[in-house]
Structure 1
Amino acid sequence: MLNNIGLPGLLLIAVVVLVLFGRGKISSLMGEVGKGITAFKKGVSDGTKELEDGSDSVEHRQARDEMPAPAVHTDKEKS
């Protein structure tokens, strides 16, 4: 059904939406959609960064646990 819309159909839909809602309302709606997309992208990148940071800390903890503890020297041992 949607395969046969074509360019004239899309233009007709755009004109009807413009007449019904007006230019100002559509402009503000598109601004909100843009803000939503930007927030979504920021959330995805923050989540990815958090996952990468979390995996790095796990790797560092595993490496730290595998390393032997450093030797502690006291003043009594030197005399």
Structure 2
Amino acid sequence: MGSLSIWHWLIVGVLVLVLFGGGKLSGLMGDAAKGIKAFKNGLKDDEDEVKTKKAEDEPKA
């Protein structure tokens, strides 16, 4: 009762392709990929800042 069969998913997929078209859908996926890359780079930059701050805060022997 709660699960959808493969036919339901196929119909939903066809409707999405008809509504959004191939070009819009690929553009949307490209934008999502750019967003994920920017998020990962932001996390990486934050980790680098933390490492450099810890290195600056440590007393030098």
Shared fold (TM-score greater than 0.5)?
Answer: yes
CA deviation after TM superposition for structure 1 residue 10, in Å: 3.1
Q: Quote the RMSD (CA, aligned, Å).
A: 2.1
Residue in 2 that maps onto 1:72:
none
Deviation (angstroms), 1:37: 0.4
Q: Within 5 A, what are the aligned runs for 1:14-33?
A: 14-33=13-32
- Residues 30-39 or 5-14, more deviating: 5-14
Q: Is 1:4 aligned to residue 3 of structure 2?
A: yes
Partners of 1:44 and 1:6 lie apart in 2 by: 39
Misfit runs of 4+, over 4 Å: none
Partners in 2 of 1:12 and 1:5 — Cα distance? 11
Percentage of identical aligned residues = 40
Note the residue ranges of structure 1 that are not aligned, 5 or more in a row. 68-79
Structure-2 change in CA distance of 1:6 and 1:43 (3 Å): farther
Alignment match, 1:13:
12
